[in-house]
A and B are shown apart, each in its own frame.
Chain A
Amino acid sequence: MPLRVMDTRVVAEVSGDAAEVFAADVRRAWTRCLDDDDAPGEPDVRVPAVLDDEAGLLQAMDALSPAVTVAAIGHQAGQVLMLHAAGLADAEGRTVALVGPSGTGKTTASRHLATRLGYVTDETVAVRADGSIAAYPKPLSVRLDGDVFKTQVAVDDLGATPERPHLHRVVVLRRDGAEEAWVEDVPLLEAMATVATETSYLARMEQPLHHLAEVLEARGGLRVLHYRDADQLGPMVDALLAEDGA
């Protein structure tokens, strides 16, 4: 099952007694990442995906998502700046990266905002040297009530992934219960230290701090969005997208 994620051709090698069921579910959930079966050349990375019993489908799908992510970021190490972030874009492809570790609301924010903005990713915003983004419109991984494993929700209903997304603003999500949502500007050095903890393979890039400083300064620096509910994010993200530059 060929997937195209973050400029990387990942082949999920689906096998096992329930391979057909598994493959059908990958096709259902990973719609925006499916690559051409006949694409020429060797895949960049292969990921084993085994399912012998249909009863284990939810678990297998839950495991596939991080496996694909790890494979792709490993392949791109040192090539692109990889932010642990959700990416939401306007019609022109201007993308706001909502940075945050797992559990800080990236997927919830994506579900909420991508009803009217373009969905770029809920996992990793991969920024090329020219500021364009290698999209990763994976399924949303959502833990439903009572489930141990996350359900992989297809993103068909979310806003279209722009053809050429590019990084416009970088913000950190801080769901700290602020009744009145507010925006905090972060000084450059502290911004670099904050963002660095939410990157993959930053040390593999050439002069990584200089690159990070350049990326942040060209995007108006780093802001922290303090909020309580995802519906507070809409106006803040709209305001960021309306800002000039980058």
Chain B
Amino acid sequence: MHVTRTPWTDWYVDGDRSAVFVDGEVLVLSELATEVLHHVAPDAGADLAALAEALTAAFGAPPDGDATAATEGVVRELADRGVLAVS
């Protein structure tokens, strides 16, 4: 799975959290979602495996050990809100 940014109006980072302005709405993002966005490059995007690795490095392995599935859950939630696109 490849992940890219949608055309945000703006993204504001405040410590570990952030707010993104997309489709006329301002969404407040958790630490986890903010970390994901940090690793999705503006043009190139990122692969799911690389994102899972980055999240594991930042937060440790998820309780069930499946970092890829956990990361995909966050990515799909962000995609549902229009923040990311997946292909």
Which residues of A are in contact with B by a Cβ distance under 8 Å? 188-190, 192-193, 196-197, 202-203, 207-210, 213
Contact = CB atoms under 8 A, between A and B. Distances in A.
B41 interface: no
Interface string B64-85: 0000000000000000000000
A208 B28 contact: no
A221 to B, nearest CB: 12
Contacts of B10: 207-210
A207 B8 CA distance: 10
B28 A209 contact: no
Interface of A is mostly: helix
Nearest to B24: A203
Contacts of A197: 26
Nearest to A211: B10
B12 A193 contact: no
A213 B12 CA distance: 8
B12 A210 contact: yes
> Chain B: interface residue count, which band?
10 to 19
Contact of B14 (A188, A196, A202, A207): A188
A189 B17 CA distance: 8
Contacts of A213: 12, 14
A203 B10 CA distance: 9
B32 to A, nearest CB: 15
Given A202-B21, A209-B10, 12 more contacts: A189-B12, A189-B17, A189-B28, A192-B12, A192-B19, A192-B28, A193-B28, A196-B21, A203-B9, A203-B24, A208-B9, A208-B10
A196 B21 CA distance: 9
Contacts of B19: 189, 192-193, 209
25 contacts: A188-B14, A189-B12, A189-B18, A189-B28, A190-B28, A192-B12, A192-B28, A193-B26, A193-B27, A196-B21, A197-B26, A202-B21, A203-B9, A203-B21, A207-B10, A208-B9, A208-B21, A209-B9, A209-B10, A209-B11, A209-B12, A209-B26, A210-B12, A213-B12, A213-B14
